[in-house]
Amino acid sequence: MQIFGLLGNPVGHSLSPAMHHAAYSHLGMDAKYITIESEVSDLKEVISGAPKNGISGLNVTIPFKQDVLSYVQTDKIAKRIGAVNTIDFSGENPIGYNTDVAGARRSFEHHDISISGKNSVVLGAGGAGRALAFMLSDEGSHVSIVNRTEDKAHSLSKSVPNSTGYGISSLPNLLIDADILVNTTSVGMGTDISPIPKAFLHPDLVVMDAVYRPLATRLLREAKESGATTIDGVWMLLYQGVESFEIWTGRKAPVSIMNKAVRSQL
């Protein structure tokens, strides 16, 4: 049996086990997806011991996406982002990847939304903000990074080509000419609060929310009411999982099966 899993703390409410088990069952794979709740002091042992415990691949979630960098070799994208969310143990040494970037890109592709030449606003400069800012820039967009702690926006914009950093007060002006808006803050998670007043939203915007609990965040509801196109946070979650599955197994992931499984949990 192949064993994959999720390493984080906490991991109890994760949607990943249902998503990956649906894929294994659909493809008739003898595999299971476990969760490992760890302390930071145990990470080295968990990662170095994974192959002898029969583990072929691990996803990594909050708060360890940066900590695991010390224990894996990274591919080009994970190195640039400075965070790992997927570890593959099939080679001699564990390799760390960041599939949040491809997950975000494939979310836009899925909705037939082109990014090249567009003006994008990324709200937030944490882990998800980094992944989105690099992806949008790589795909040819100018990226305005807006963050509550303005220094973090400036510092991220120094490493993301074709980007500029701003504080929150610049948001209304930036949105006037924006084509794409992505919320990568945790505002709206588990609450009915939007990080952006409805008055700033307009029909020419594509609005993506990285928050997926609830699925229909207030931001997405108000964006829809304003005539904007919306992409919910499950798409990015789904496609980062699809990418991880494909790295670990070398097989094409059953995307629609995994999508159905993850949405049935919400």
For position 194 contacting ligand NAP by CB under 6 A, the verdict is no
Catalytic residue among 32, 44, 52, 65: 65
Nearest to 132 by CA among 153, 154, 103, 111: 103
What is the number of alpha carbons within 13 Å of residue 87 lying toward its C-beta? 35
User: Minimum distance from CB of 266 to ligand NAP (Å)?
Assistant: 12
For position 244 contacting ligand NAP by CB under 6 A, the verdict is no
Q: Catalytic: 65? A: yes
The torsion angles phi and psi of 231, rounded to 5 degrees, stand at -130, 120
- Using the contact rule CB under 6 A, the part of the chain among 21-29, 36-44, 112-120, 179-187 near ligand NAP is 179-187
Q: Which of 212, 254, 258, 262 binds ligand NAP (CB under 6 A)?
A: 212
Nearer to ligand NAP among residue 14 and residue 226 (C-beta):
14
- 59, 16 contact by CB (below 8 A): yes
Nearer to ligand NAP among residue 2 and residue 14 (C-beta):
14
Nearer to ligand NAP among residue 88 and residue 232 (C-beta):
232
Q: What secondary structure letter does DSSP report for 115?
A: -
- 83, 31 contact by CB (below 8 A): no
> Which residues neighbour 108 within 8 Å (Cβ) at sequence distance 6 or greater?
114, 115, 139, 206, 208, 231
For position 152 contacting ligand NAP by CB under 6 A, the verdict is yes
Residues near ligand NAP, by CB under 6 A: 62, 100, 103, 124-129, 147-149, 152, 184-187, 189, 195, 210-212, 233, 236-237, 240
